[in-house]
Structure 1
Amino acid sequence: MKDILGGVCAPIGFSANGIHAGMRKNKSKKDLSLIVSEELCTAAATYTQNKVKGAPLTVTKQHLKNGRARAIICNSGNANTCNSNGIELANEVCALTAKELGLKEDDIIVASTGVIGQPMSIDPFKDHMKELVKGLNVDGSHDACYGIMTTDTQPKEYAVEFKLGNTKCHIGAIAKGSGMIHPNMATMLAFVTSDVAISKECLEAMVHEVVDDTFNMVSVDGDTSTNDMLCVLSNGMAQNNKIVLKDQSYNIMKDALYHICEQLSRGIAKDGEGATKLLTCNVKNAKTLQDAKIVAKSVITSTLFKAAMFGRDANWGRILCAIGYSDADLDINKVSVTLASSAGDIHVCEKGMGVIFDEDKALKVLSEDEIDINIDLNDGMWDATAWGCDLTYDYVKINGEYRT
């Protein structure tokens, strides 16, 4: 497996585009994106667990009941959530897209992101659909990526190449996510494409397995969004032997998908609203996998700990506190903690107790933009990793002025 360029257009048969259609006031920002496959795709998705869901999710769930799709359309700037005519609008977007592409409406995945509860007009879609479709091209992933961004400061775009037997295969992806992000898949918008031939059942299983260990382990601010989902389209154009069992080929593709989703997860956490640091919490030797995950997520969602990381304060007591109030089954008297970065590492806790460490060295370690929190529970054999970011003044500023 190797990283390559091309994003969602790296797999055979995919094209994309992103334009400004007028949903965002800033005309320099793209706000409408489209991804299309030459062939009908096997499709799978996961959705936010928030009880308040954007209308596009309801429509997309209905369209994906048959496990097939061929295009994804997404706008930014308006979430199409809590609107009385939201379902009607989402269906109309699919109808406009399908008509322009010559496809069936139920082969369209629709998504929206932006402000909740704001009136939405179909006019930008009507006025710009021809332009959007006409601009589809095999180098369009970058434009599509920018079209789905809201408060993101960096695009999240990745692709990999790998082999199934002697056949070269590819997976590409774009994602958005910066704030309103908390474990409970989905935690953002992610669109993944592949040219692998795979059954609906295998793709669905793979997506849920990978998401549980990647996107569900990301938290920026503890808020689970209303519109978020991850969807995967796989068109089979690589012409590999179709994956229909959880065999070696399944595991190879799963590793590639995991790599993509891990990179996207890290990118989303690092680009958290106002963030200056990526926090990676590695938990090892837990009694169960669930215990390891609970501890890792508890630490990276601790507001006090996130604030300490912003202040470059090696306040390890906040880590122990977050471990202690989690629902994990553990013995706090066995826990050790080390903080690490490219500047070195400092051991701050052993057997649940503090150890003497060099505060000057700690300041250097915590001054880097990527910090690892390494926790050993010394109580089993299970490991897990979660990703988060520090809590800064700018987070409050961004969200205090989000609508204005």
Structure 2
Amino acid sequence: MTASVLVLNAGSSSLKWDLFAAPAFSSLRSGMIERIGEKGGALDHAAALAAVLDELGEARPAVVGHRIVHGGRTFTGPALLDEAAIAEVERLVPLAPLHNPPALAGIRAVAERLPNVPQVGVFDTAFHQTMPEAAARYALPAWCEREHGVRRYGFHGTSHQYVSRVAGDYLQRTDGRDPVELNLVTLHLGNGCSAAAVAGGVCVDTSMGLTPLEGLVMGTRCGDLDPAAVTYLQRAAGLSAEEVDRLLNRESGLKGLCGENDVRRVLQRAAAGDADAELALDIYCRRIRKYVGAYAAVLGRLDGLVFTAGVGENAAEIRRRVCEPLAGFGVTLDAAANAARSGEVRRIDAGGPVAVLIVPTDEETEIARQAWSVAGGDLAAADA
């Protein structure tokens, strides 16, 4: 029977899963269970996993890989989820109270139903732990970091790692460029948005920080903000800490600026002459360009600009608004290539010194690959 890797992405009320053949990492089956813990849905994550295993039948995985949002400073790569690692994921819950607990529920459910199957954690923060301290530390007293872990961790790391590797491989095949020498800025643009500066496949800076709130303008998150705005709003508007948190994370970004968090709707409204939507797009794209320019300075040279995720892969107008004003950085855009729709890796620049690429992200495949790299080798050796 073909060895397989089961990838689980557990949310508070959902369980997304994908079964991959190993080591080819082709998807065999996938699905999602929603409304966990709600009326009419699975009772809990253990029940959801049981439903997944029932659907898989005899196709039991050799390895289970879990997407875990926060790995703190401890996890700099994928990790076998033994008792010590699970305890560390639990310790990090205060840094990701909405995300790490569902992952832990999924881990416990697998341990109960598949006790002899190795489990591997793949962390959204891990790829960014190569950032130098100058990029990772805030200008706060040392005790804030030492006693409370207040530093920049970054997120979307699995996506940034995947697309930067794929972009490097693509440019090596097409241009003969050594991936180790490439300086890339990768832009993960979806409802959540982040940028990363990647030198030779290694992250040296990223836009998200202690939480996914910092950095780019997003669907409902404000991104960078004068921190004094928080205390001002608490005093002036009488908002509690919880109300400010909701305001910045759920009611800001594009939604706060024009009432829409879906970029497609914002683009439609702007095209129809809506001034609020046009301003929202200007702010959104200006922030992206600021980060591209900043990361070009951090890297010292910009070789490639990579767009990925739902907006990055599909919104040609957003790419145009980001790229055209960056001509002074060597960024060009082929209008026809930019407008074409494709699910493939492709280059859309007009032959300038900076390669502009669209790389469809595939976090599930990346999780499967990393999980197999940790546990699959031992399994293959045991079978030999």
Compute the TM-score of the two structures, normalised by the length of structure 2.
Answer: 0.29
- Point out the structure with the larger strand share: 1
Normalised by the size of structure 1, how large is the TM-score? 0.28
